[in-house]
Structure 1
Amino acid sequence: MSTRKIIILNGHPGQTSLNKTLAEAYRDSAINAGHEVRYHDLSAMQFDMDYGLGGYHSAKPLEADLEAFVGDLEWAEHVVLTTPLWWGAMPAKLKGAFDRALLPGRTFDTRNTSALGLPAPMLTGKTARVLMTSDTPSIFLKLFYGNAIKKILSRQILGFVGIKPTRFTSFAPASHPAESQVKAWCEKSAELGARAA
């Protein structure tokens, strides 16, 4: 099996979480399998998540944690994200990281557009895996909400900058899982990490 360069972002803003546990299970297994891994923990990242009044022509300079994150996105071949589903979307701090870090000239090229006027993605040749925790089972997420969060992440964020395909693994219900369930979920994350899938 060939090894891959992997960036992992635990996208839960809390210092302790099921998402962090899943991210660490994936990370440890990937490292043990010989993959190169760079790990980022949203709860430890320091940055202003508000884009503010600046436009793309006067964007805020990236803080050190965001600069490291973007550099590792550029380096990686495979992107792994853990996120909880909160109010049908991702946590505000995670959205703020994307707002601030995914900038033109670095992740997409507004000077090179398609026939539809879309900027050229600059992070092509990478794949993604999202490990998502929620209380909403996957079937209800699809039937009642049209997989909105999955479409946003795979098409409007990761896909927009060239990272695709994005595959999802859902863990639900996640608020009060039994210890045996958490163990099974960690084993699933570890299996994915070993394969860099």
Structure 2
Amino acid sequence: MSTRKIIILNGHPAPSSLSQSLCQTYQTAAEAGGHKVRYHDLSSMQFDIDYGQTGYQNVKPLEPDLAAFLSDLEWADHVVMATPMWWGAIPAKLKGVFDRALLPGRAFDTRNVNVLGLPAPMLTGKTARVLLTSDTPALWLRLIYGNAIKRIISSQILGFVGIKPTRFSSFAPATDAAEKTVLSWQRKVADLGARAA
């Protein structure tokens, strides 16, 4: 397997979490496998999550943490993101990363649209792995909620800017998971990291 360039985003806003543990496990295994990794931790990123009402003609300058994230996203050929599912979606601060950093001219090209009027994606040639933690079992998430959070992440966020395919690994129920369960999840993530999958 060739060496991959991987960006990891721990999308949990707390300084310590299961998401962080999974990201660190993935990073350790990926680096041991010879892959290049750049890591971003949402809890330590400082930026205004509110895009505001200025429109794309007068956007806020990216804060250093967002600028570094976007630069590393452009550099990478594989994107790994861990996120909890809160109220059926991703945390507000994580949504703020996408609202603020995925901008025209860097993430998509509004001057080049397809027959449906959609802008051309500019972050193509990348794949993604999402480590999704929740208290909703994966079967329930699919049958009752139609995998809404997965469709939003894979199609309306990552896929929109050209990052695809997005594969998911679900870990649930997460809140009171037993230690042996967490260890089994970490082994699964370590295997993904070793393979840069």
TM-score, normalised by the number of residues in structure 2: 0.99
- In structure 1, the residue matched to 2:191 is 191
How many aligned residue pairs are there?
197
What is the deviation of 1:106? 0.5
Structure 1 counterpart SS, 2:123: coil
- In structure 2, the residue matched to 1:136 is 136
After TM superposition, the runs of 4+ consecutive aligned structure 1 residues lying more than 3 A away are none
TM-score, normalised by the number of residues in structure 1: 0.99
**Aligned-partner Cα distance in 1 for 2:53–2:166:** 31
Q: Does 1:179 align with 2:184?
A: no
**Aligned-partner Cα distance in 2 for 1:123–1:100:** 16
Identity of aligned residues (%): 71
**Aligned-partner Cα distance in 2 for 1:116–1:22:** 38
**Aligned-partner Cα distance in 1 for 2:148–2:75:** 29
Aligned residue runs from structure 1 range 1-197, under 5 A: 1-197=1-197
**AA matched with 1:139:** L
Structure 1 counterpart SS, 2:144: helix
Structure 2 counterpart SS, 1:51: coil
**AA matched with 1:12:** H
What is the deviation of 1:53? 1.9
**Aligned-partner Cα distance in 1 for 2:143–2:179:** 29
**Aligned-partner Cα distance in 2 for 1:192–1:8:** 13
**Residues 124-146 of structure 1: per-residue CA shift (max 9 Å, x gap):** 00000000000001110011101
Structure 2 counterpart SS, 1:145: coil
Q: CA RMSD in A?
A: 0.4
Task: Structure 1: give runs of 5+ residues left out of the alignment.
Answer: none
Structure 1 counterpart SS, 2:51: coil
Structure 2 counterpart SS, 1:39: strand
